[in-house]
Amino acid sequence: MKTTSIMIVGVGGQGSLLASKLLGNLLTEEGYDVKVSEVHGMSQRGGSVVTYVRYGDRVYSPIVTEGECDFIISFEKLEGARYAGCLRKGGKIIVNTQQIDPMPVITGAAEYPENVLEELKARGFDIDDFDALTPALEAGSAKSVNIVLMGHFARHSGIPKEKWLAALEKTVPARFLEMNRKAFDLGYGE
Amino acid sequence: MKKLLIGNEAVAWGLYHGGLRVISSYPGTPSTEITEFLSKHDDIHTEWAPNEKVACEAAFGASLAGARSACAMKHVGLNVAADPLFTLSYTGVTGGLVICVADDPAMHSSQNEQDSRHYAIAAKVPMLEPSDSAEAYAFAKSAFALSEEYDTPVILRMCTRIAHSQCTVDLGERENTPLKEYVKQPAKYIMMPGYAKVRHPLVEQRTERLKALAEDCAYNRVENHGSKIGIITSGCSYLYVKEVFGDSVSILKIGMPNPLPEKLIRDFAASVEKLYVIEELDPVIENHVRAMGLECTGKSLFSPLGEFSQQTIREAFLREGVRFGDAPEKQGEAPQVPGRPPMMCSGCPHRGMFYTLAKNHITVLGDIGCYTLGAVAPLNALDSTLCMGASVSGIHGFNLARGAETEKKTVAVIGDSTFMHSGMTGLVNIAYNATNSTVIILDNSITGMTGHQQNPTTGYNIKGDPAAKVDLEALCRALGIRRVRVVDPYNLKECEDAVKEELAAEEPSVIISRRPCVLLKYVKPKAPLRVDPEKCRSCKRCMGLGCPSISMKDGKARIDQTLCVGCGVCAQLCPFSAIGEGERK
């Protein structure tokens, strides 16, 4: 099979590492050759973070470059737009409509492009935008935005929900499992 | 057992299964997790040393005593450990010794992108360079035997992309390697001229033996696909080449970049019509190939800057007119959006001190850590950042050059861990050679930037167990500084008074700005603060802190209730008392 490439993007501290871990565990369990690449360090201090997940029969490169990405899963509006150039023709951007102002916006040096998702749609991007924060709070914590988003992505993944739930159980600490299951269900929808 | 592992965890398992007994390291992105993962094992000794030189020498001592030992560090850490490295090459080892070093092409979290391979060449020690986690495991595991067989330290070179990428690794078992007997060997281990002169020729002979090994070993391999094009590559560049070309070009994959296999290279070059060398950073392999009198294309096509990717490879070969599979087709161009640089966290204890320094237009020589972020807008508080410890050593020289003109308005800032690493010696120099310098130790009670590692000032060791705790005040006094005072960076008046008084003092002084990192688990956030919109006059003074919790909405300051930890620094700034503890939700 052709290699599938996914980018998980967001703001440092939003929990994208756990999301990529969940996806990595699931895809490994499914028997794929999997590569996951993340960047630690400076990016943890509220900076832009990107994690790459690639799977298929045989995957060499751990990173995703321009025009290669099948799915961008974005934890924040601006970040979804930042990496849109990586999307392949026909790819999809799943984006949480949450807005987190970066420092240049906070200091007034730049403006947050309020209609950024509309602009992406106008440019022909396939955007699946939804509010992941409200269901995360409903599940019990703003921190579970990551699992809400993965639940939402699961519908597009072609992998049965029960496999996802098994991987979730393997990935998150037992004491947070119930909250995360709820977050996953809310993201997955009916 | 098959597991999905980041490169650093794979190295940790490789070292552990290779019989590691002692590892001493200093944290540094992207190498930190190697030692963190190893610290979970109770049957070996793991520790954070104060710096990489100490770590490398601790590993040397353990090797001398017969244990398989290691140290891990980032690329610039190897500069610090270079002193023991070069002579370790002469002494060789008793127990196998592996030096893990992680380069950072693209400088994801570093001050330069130096290429560690030069050290292996200069110190004349073998270097192994894996391409993914599976190789990282295998290379790390086998490095001890290589070290012992050839009586040499071995450098294992990682890079950010491999250190932090995951792939499946098939884990084996831990080798049972007993502690070797300690035998006093003065001629091998006392490197005074008489003995060192005898050791040097042995180093040269060892290199010849290693060259022979390089010709036929598991680290280097030829993938001959009968193509006209041949590519010599190593590390993650190999993965990008394979991503683009698959099995359609012949590849000489180098897993041991020092010493290089000359016959293998020569035979490979002879088997193809056009030879390329693809390596990140410096043209190390390329220069070697050229020195052998062979024609090749390398840095004329591939940049010495930053990281590569499959896109780099594709674009370069398009310029060469070389054909390969379909190029990817983009959906479209991304719109221009504002950058999102990293910043100091909400409630970061460094902020109050940096605000004070910026407000008073103080020249600030900075250092390496989270507090380097004091350089960014709106604080713009730093004037320099060079390397670990250079703030303290540097302010002395700065004041020597300009005297009283700068002594009254210049400070050095350095974190607690960085001060332990290499700030102390600079402070001794200030006291001993007498400049009227002011040093601020930003003591947040942890090694912050690398992700919360303990250090000698925290009172805990790598496992979180209680340990001897350096008394910073007593230490500074013992080093010859009489004026030492402690301030709380959440108290702006205290910071301002201390900075003004110590700058005015006619002798060197140390201000310890002490408050634990707000991200530490034991630090409980206070109730978030709120802005009373009735009182806010939109003066934006609070915005000058660069706190991610504070923004202007509809002309009034607003505090994000999910981010604010109630540090109270902004409330002290507000001239209209508009910021206070709001009603809890």
Residue with tokens 């794929």: A32
Strand locations in chain A, DSSP E? Answer: 4-11, 33-37, 48-56, 69-74, 87-96, 126-130
How does pLDDT run across B62-121, given as a tens digit for each residue? 999 999 999 999 999 999 999 999 999 999 999 999 999 999 999 999 999 999 999 999
| A181/chain B closest Cα distance in angstroms | 23
**At B327, is the secondary structure helix, strand, or coil?**
coil
Element (H, E) at A163: helix A161-171
Interface probe with B: pick from A17, A18, A21, A65, most Cβ of B within 10 Å: A65
CATH 3.40.50.620 is held by the domain B350-514: no
Indicate the residue of A39, A45, A109 with minimum beta-carbon distance to B377.
Answer: A109
CATH 2.40.50.100 is held by the domain B529-581: no
Q: Is the pLDDT of residue A40 over 80?
A: no
pLDDT of res. B543:
94
Who contacts B277 (Cβ-Cβ below 8 Å, separation ≥6)?
Answer: B231, B232, B233, B283, B285, B286, B289, B296, B297, B298
Indicate the residue of B6, B331, B370 with minimum beta-carbon distance to A88.
Answer: B331
B262: left (phi over 0), alpha (psi -120 to 50) or beta: alpha
| A5 touches A69 (CB < 8 A) | yes
Strand locations in B237-327, DSSP E? Answer: 250-254, 274-278
Q: Is the pLDDT of residue A44 over 90?
A: no
- Domain spans of chain B, in order of start: 2-215, 221-320, 350-514, 529-581
- This prediction's pTM: 0.96
Give the CATH class of B2-215.
alpha beta
Q: CA dist B368 to B300, B307, B373, B394, Å? A: 34, 22, 10, 13
Neighbours of B498 (CB within 10 A): 22
Q: Spell out which residues of chain B touch residue A145, defining contact as CB-CB under 8 Å.
A: none
**At A190, is the secondary structure helix, strand, or coil?**
coil
| A185/chain B closest Cα distance in angstroms | 24
Interface probe with A: pick from B311, B337, B551, most Cβ of A within 10 Å: B337
How does pLDDT run across B556-582, given as a tens digit for each residue? 999 998 889 999 999 999 999 999 986
CB contact (8 A) between residue A25 and residue B4: yes
**At A92, is the secondary structure helix, strand, or coil?**
strand
- For strands B69-74 and B127-128, give the pairing: unpaired
| A92/chain B closest Cα distance in angstroms | 9
Q: How many CA atoms lie within 13 A of A79 on its CB side?
A: 30
Q: Looking at the complex, does the CB of residue B295 fall below 8 Å from at least one CB of chain A?
A: no
Long-range pairs, A121-124, Cβ under 8 A, ≥24: A123/A84, A123/B332, A123/B333, A123/B335, A124/B331, A124/B332
CB contact (8 A) between residue A104 and residue B243: no
Q: Looking at the complex, does the CB of residue A140 fall below 8 Å from at least one CB of chain B?
A: no
> What ipTM goes with this model?
0.95
CA-CA distance, B144 to B136, in Å (whole number)? 13
Q: Is the pLDDT of residue A52 over 60?
A: yes
Q: Looking at the complex, does the CB of residue B543 fall below 8 Å from at least one CB of chain A?
A: yes
CA-CA distance, B363 to B382, in Å (whole number)? 7
- Tell me the domains of chain A and their CATH numbers: 4-188 (3.40.920.10)
pLDDT of res. B327:
85
CB contact (8 A) between residue B342 and residue A11: no
Residues counted in chain B: 585
When pLDDT is cut at 50, 70 and 90, the band that residue A38 belongs to is confident
| B49 touches B55 (CB < 8 A) | yes
Indicate the residue of B309, B345, B543 with minimum beta-carbon distance to A46.
Answer: B345
pLDDT of res. B324:
80
Q: How many CA atoms lie within 13 A of A72 on its CB side?
A: 40
Who contacts B43 (Cβ-Cβ below 8 Å, separation ≥6)?
Answer: none
Give the CATH class of B221-320.
alpha beta
Tokens at B99, concatenated = 């030096």
Q: Is the pLDDT of residue B417 over 80?
A: yes
Same fold, B2-215 and B350-514: yes
What integer is the mean pLDDT of B283-294? 98
